[in-house]
Structure 1
């Protein structure tokens, strides 16, 4: 009997060790309760240490708070606590028996859109909060738009503070209808709305008796059941930007090291090098020795059948290889107060390539606060610039040809950075070919 119990325990331990990981992001306007929501998730999944919880209990009591102020589990910076807002992206980790989670908690202020972009860029799911008393507001639309630009397919709307509208089904349904209409307009395929109270715990980890009219899943049930789309990058054609050329003259060893950003590769697979040169893979070297196959996310060194002159920044790809271009359309998000204007000379990092580039034109600056398809444009091209947190459609010219392709799979392909030539600071993050209307 002991042997049977031991075997069952070992299988359970192994199952826990091999749980899938879901990356998610929270977003919303100021005071929509994001910090309390994240704190509630951490608390209800028992991801809080006893001393942390004791500290929250003491601080909550000192402030005269009725119960636990779970936002204290999240807002650790003094500046955040003093202002009562979250001002940076904070990453939190929690787990259940079914899955592990990495959560990016982003700020709500419009001037921190760049932080929201950072948090969403690696997320598979966005949990967007709105105050039930206010419904869908300008910042809700902004965050939905960013989610769409970054290719996020699943957005969960948490209609928070539902207790402050007496758990009204009518209010919830009105907000859900507005949210689903906007999501459909933007092309977000899987919008889901849940009535919640982060403060009281309604429908977050446990179903609430206060919303007996709601028969859908809790937020946690959704997070545990939504498919982890780790295969999206795997489903793309093979892409391998070279990071280092490895040579050992004594043994005549030559390999090309880097990280596979998309697709997979196996021994004897045919690939295409710059200039359209065809070759095959005769060796896949890893930190653990030789392998027969590797896939997106793996760091490897590839040995090729032919002696081809390759260098850092070159792309090895499955056929058909992306076309080399000197000009392309993109969407960029301004990351600094230094405005980007037409004609601005910059450096552009795409994969492992770093090339000189020029902002040929700023075609449209999106006015997301009023409507996602409106723009702000001046009388002439020269009057339009990309400032901090602006989202704009632009045209970029590069000094050296680059094999760019449409943005996909949360930046596995098609993402780039614009860098100031003098200071080396990052001016904007970009998405090749991504356009809104």
Structure 2
């Protein structure tokens, strides 16, 4: 079988596509539906994609359309998609006491977005340990809170489902009627636990590992410093902007007490980091806020995490390059460390490819869907950033619209560069360099 000898990026694409296909076949079964009727294949495929790509956009309501069997299938797809199918495969290999081959280590390196295979197995062990510990803690806290609203068995089930979904930045909920967490807009426990799950899932496992070792090493890597500082800035700045824009909006924050205003501002700032959870009705937000959230969704989470977007490190590298150019400096310096030129080129490539994909998909949907432009842009960016926030367009998509959004979720989860490496020809060795030329810029 030729595909077994494919490059790591190509195997990653094949693996994710295979999981989505299997998931879609399970979700279209009558037993997966609450009514006992088969789900239309396009909706089953859409749900399998959004779960595996940990996005959260849904064409049918997860809480009411799917049976317990269907919801468990979705939960497993979220877990596999969030941690990566190679991480899960490696976990099974540990249990079977099977040796991890070099090929498998290279795929893990690509899946976890690492620069080398050194220490990759140790990182996988930590990934699984951190994920299970954080999810279990979140599930327990959610279950305790939900006990006040439902039966013990249902509270535990709801706690597990939402803890796994939110930590993996999927944002898929089973509250019913597409209402997400709007019923808990003023609940401190639900909001704080949700935000902590989203943030820890979006920081990346390398950063979590660094933070765990900080007590012993007394230092953080440059990567962790960049991720933590940029993530903190985006959350705080985002909360302030949303609070200011929505403070007097009668459709969102105006009726809320000051404490709930602040809580909802932070939730709406954290959620675009690819989580897809909302406590305010996004359709009633001011257009300025909606567009600002589009920007946050495009930036997304951090490398090696359960989230999507162009990533915080990419955004930081671009800001650093602009700053260096304005100051007339040759090097991009972050925390007294110089970035290699190749890293800056990669950041620029990822951003331009991502921007192009979002623009092309938005133009296509603007032709096939009869909706406001900002609503379409919001939906496309949410799909590409694997966020899952929506202004209500998902359920109204045409067949063409659903296919485009499925493709955007798939590309967003894998990353445009990984997909490019997988589909493109194997690069050959360059034997010469062209003469230097000059063009006028700016």
- Please classify the TM superposition score into its range, dividing by the shorter chain length: under 0.3
Q: Which of the pair has more CA radius of gyration?
A: 1
Higher relative contact order (CA 8 A, sep 6+): 2
So what's the TM-score if we normalise by structure 1? Answer: 0.26
So what's the TM-score if we normalise by structure 2? Answer: 0.25
Q: Which has the higher helix share?
A: 2
